[in-house]
Amino acid sequence: MALQSLDIVRRSATTTAPPGVRAAYTGTVAKLIDTTKCIGCKACQVACMEWNDLRDEIGSNVGVYENPGDLSSESWTLMRFTEYENPKGDLEWLIRKDGCMHCADPGCLKACPAPGAIVQYSNGIVDFHEENCIGCGYCIAGCPFDIPRISKRDHKAYKCTLCSDRVAVGLEPACIKACPTGALVFGTKEDMQQHAAERVEDLKSRGFEQAGLYDPPGVGGTHVMYVLHHADRPELYAGLAADPHISSLVGLWKGVSKPIALAAMAFTVLAGFFHFVRVGRNEIDERDEAAARQALEAAPQRNASQRPGAQPPEKRP
Amino acid sequence: MSDSERRPTLARYSSGERTNHWLIALGFVLAALSGLALFHPALFWLGELFGGGPWTRVLHPFIGLFMLIVFLPLAASLWGDNRMQAADWQWLRRWKDVVNNREEHLPEVGRYNAGQKLLFFVLGACMIGLLLSGLVIWRAYFSLYFSIGVIRLASVVHAVCAFVLICAILLHIYAAIWVKGSLHAMLRGTVTPGWAWKHHRAWFRQITHAAHPRTRPD
Ligand code: HEM
Ligand code: SF4
């Protein structure tokens, strides 16, 4: 898709500004996942398979509710189930729809070395453009949520697109359409935050004191947000990151150190050049050859073309 | 001085060692160019030399392994000549004389000078670092055995080692141009007695049995 879409605001491995930086008047979109309303029916997983024409390998039942066992290049969203015993001794069945969070500050995009393989649209969606993907897997190292997966068949990275193709023509993502309980809603980020605020208030009035919205500031907020009953402990929900941010190692690897390293390499070459210009080559002259000749003549035997080490070390007086 | 007296006569590198060296050089250039393509977007175009981005990603680790494998025999055979000795530290402390071509102020040098020895160890360390980290970030075969935290660390280690190695090799290349006659040693295997006398006098004595130091006739 290259730059054919003018609403790209960020483009991987690109040091000049993409067209979308000019304006984003319409605001951004967001998907709100209300874990308190989710019944774990996986209709969203099926809708995702259908719209994106994905079929994962049939796995085997290992006695857990997750099916398939993990996200993959063919499964872009996955219901994760946690059985949590709360302090009162009651069982809470926490179900979280996992998938790309569409970070405002995406670690995948930061890590990607291939120009235009990962883009961020002005509506907030982070999209992989597989035609530019080289399959290195750096996005996996960059993502704070462990989301992207490399296909074993074409060696390209895949993840939830937030149905960028549907959203671009005014439709809501396929998963939203399929959800029977209204746990999934889609709209502008602002609307979703307002809707979430109402939900949180309702939950608090029903005894979930710590209910809240998960829109982690460490990655600049996300365009997929959760309403959680226990927003103080996101890790309860199958290990949802409590304070996600781009790892400092990724920052070091992909930050200012790179241009500095490039400059240092160029400097090394220049240092050589200017040494040549100022000091010049280290050459031998007749006097060196003469001195060597004298030394050779004084030597007990002439072994001029002998290999070093081919004879016992000399004995010095 | 006549031409015959200038003709290189001392053997420095066998044809096997020369072949080995240039195979390493070939491996290094290809590994560095393909790696740099992924190092910074400004150099992504280097990937075109290898058939585009995906091919660069596929080929780079194999090229790296090739370089490492051909490095081993040369490293093993030069190991003994590259051990640091007391005089080497003195040589390094006199680096100003080194860079200003004032070799008469420096201690006598054996087969390798301290700079060459340091290069040898920097190369060795970088190779080990590149191999270990390279395997961890080799997505197609090995990354699945490592946690994301380890992969992140390995990515940094790989980039740092590659950076150090490339800078070290750039210096190595310049040194070969700077010290006239060195390139001939690695291309055709021989050096002139005067070259050995000036740059590696202890080695000169060792291989020619020219025992006691003589003052230059000037
Ligand atoms: C010893 C064997 C080596 C292995 C197994 C290896 C493996 C890798 C892998 C897997 C990558 C990620 C991209 C890809 O999948 O192709 C990579 C990147 C890279 N490699 Fe190597 N490599 C090796 C040696 C080298 C050498 C000798 C150099 C250069 C002198 C080098 C320089 C680089 C650079 C500059 C990058 C990009 C790093 C970045 O993205 O910051 N590698 N290597
Ligand atoms: S969740 Fe991961 S894959 Fe999705 S935008 Fe954030 S960093 Fe990228």
**Ligand 1 environment, Cβ below 6 A:** A 113, 136; B 28, 31-32, 35-36, 38-39, 57, 60-61, 64-65, 67-68, 130-131, 134-135, 137-139, 158-159, 162, 165-166
Q: Please give the Cα distance from A160 to A166 (Å, whole number).
A: 13
With beta carbons less than 8 A apart as the criterion, state whether A126 and A106 touch.
yes
With beta carbons less than 8 A apart as the criterion, state whether A197 and A224 touch.
no
Which residue owns the Cα nearest ligand 1 atom 40? B39
Same-domain status, A186 and A45: yes
Q: Please give the Cα distance from A5 to A25 (Å, whole number).
A: 16
**A288-315 pLDDT tens trace:** 999 999 998 887 654 444 444 434 333 3
pLDDT at A230: 97
- Clarify whether B21 is annotated catalytic: no
pLDDT at A26: 74
Q: Which of B56, B151, B156 sits opposite A252 (nearest CB)?
A: B156
Among the candidates A205, A225, A245, a domain finishes at A245
Record the tokens describing residue B169, joined without a space: 């090799």
Give residues with Cβ within 8 angstroms of A85, minimum separation 6.
A91, A92
Same-domain status, A149 and A198: yes
Same-domain status, A285 and A207: no
The share of chain A scoring above pLDDT 70, in percent, equals 91
A contacts of B205 (beta carbons < 8 Å): 295, 314
Of B38, B132, B157, the residue with max ligand 1 atoms within 8 A of its CB, to mutate for a pocket test, comes to B38
pLDDT at B214: 46
Record the tokens describing residue B101, joined without a space: 């071509």
Domain membership of residue A314 (yes or no) is no
Instruction: Please report, in angstroms and rounded to a whole number, the separation of the first and last CA atoms in chain B.
Output: 16
Domain membership of residue A184 (yes or no) is yes
Same-domain status, A71 and A189: yes
Same-domain status, A132 and A271: no
Flag if B53 and A292 touch (Cβ within 8 Å). no
Domain membership of residue A108 (yes or no) is yes
CB pairs < 8 Å spanning A and B: 210
pLDDT at B161: 98
**Number of domains chain A contains:** 2
Same-domain status, A239 and A281: no
What does R_g of chain A's alpha carbons equal in angstroms?
30
More confident residue, A15 or A49: A49
Residue A234 reports pLDDT greater than 50: yes
Same-domain status, A146 and A295: no
pLDDT at A316: 36
Domain membership of residue A310 (yes or no) is no
> B172 and chain A: CB distance < 8 Å anywhere?
no
Question: Helix, strand, coil % (nearest 5) of chain B?
Answer: 75, 0, 20
Is 0.80 surpassed by the pTM of this model?
Answer: yes
Q: Count the residues in chain A.
A: 317
A contacts of B216 (beta carbons < 8 Å): 287-288, 290-291
Mean pLDDT confidence for A214-231: 98
pLDDT at B218: 39
- Amino acid identity, position A164: S
| Nearest atom within ligand 1 for CA of residue A113 | 40
Angle between helices B15-39 and B53-78 (to 10 degrees): 140
Domain membership of residue A315 (yes or no) is no
Q: Is A102 exposed, middle or buried (0-12, 13-18, 19+ CB in 10 A)?
A: buried
Q: Please give the Cα distance from A109 to A90 (Å, whole number).
A: 42
Closest by CA to B61, choosing from B159, B166, B172, B137, is B137
Q: Is A162 exposed, middle or buried (0-12, 13-18, 19+ CB in 10 A)?
A: buried
pLDDT at B74: 96
With beta carbons less than 8 A apart as the criterion, state whether B163 and A261 touch.
yes
Same-domain status, A141 and A230: yes
H or E element in which residue A184 lies: strand A184-188
Of A100, A161, A222, the residue with max ligand 2 atoms within 8 A of its CB, to mutate for a pocket test, comes to A100
pLDDT at B7: 63
**A127-155 pLDDT tens trace:** 999 999 999 999 999 999 999 999 999 99
Same-domain status, A273 and A214: no
With beta carbons less than 8 A apart as the criterion, state whether B148 and A141 touch.
yes
Query: CB-hemisphere CA count at 13 Å for A33?
Result: 28
Closest by CA to A189, choosing from A64, A31, A23, is A31
**A14-42 pLDDT tens trace:** 988 887 676 667 789 999 999 999 999 99
Q: Is B33 exposed, middle or buried (0-12, 13-18, 19+ CB in 10 A)?
A: middle
Smallest CA–CA distance from A107 into chain B, residue = B152
Domain around A88: 5-245
Domain membership of residue A170 (yes or no) is yes
Distance of CA A74 from the midpoint of ligand 2 (Å): 17
pLDDT at A120: 94
Q: Please give the Cα distance from B210 to B206 (Å, whole number).
A: 7
Closest by CA to B178, choosing from B103, B118, B85, B117, is B103
Ligand 2 contact via A71 beta carbon (within 6 Å): no
A contacts of B209 (beta carbons < 8 Å): 299-301, 303, 311, 314
What CATH number does the domain containing A97 carry?
A: 3.30.70.20
Q: What is the mean pLDDT of each run of 10 residues along chain B (218 residues)?
A: 59 96 98 98 97 98 98 95 92 93 90 95 97 97 96 98 98 96 94 94 87 46
Residue A117 reports pLDDT greater than 90: yes
Record the tokens describing residue A138, joined without a space: 């750096």
The CA–CA distances, whole Å, from A231 to A36, A102, A212, A227, A241 equal 11, 19, 5, 8, 11
Same-domain status, A71 and A211: yes
**Mind giving me the DSSP string for A49-118?**
HHHHT--PPP----SSS-SSSS--SS---EEEEEEEE-TTS-EEEEEEEES---BSS-HHHHH--STTSE
Nearest-ligand number for the alpha carbon of B61: 1
Record the tokens describing residue A298, joined without a space: 């004084």
Same-domain status, A11 and A105: yes
Same-domain status, A300 and A170: no
Q: Please give the Cα distance from B103 to B195 (Å, whole number).
A: 12
Domain membership of residue A316 (yes or no) is no
Smallest CA–CA distance from A152 into chain B, residue = B140
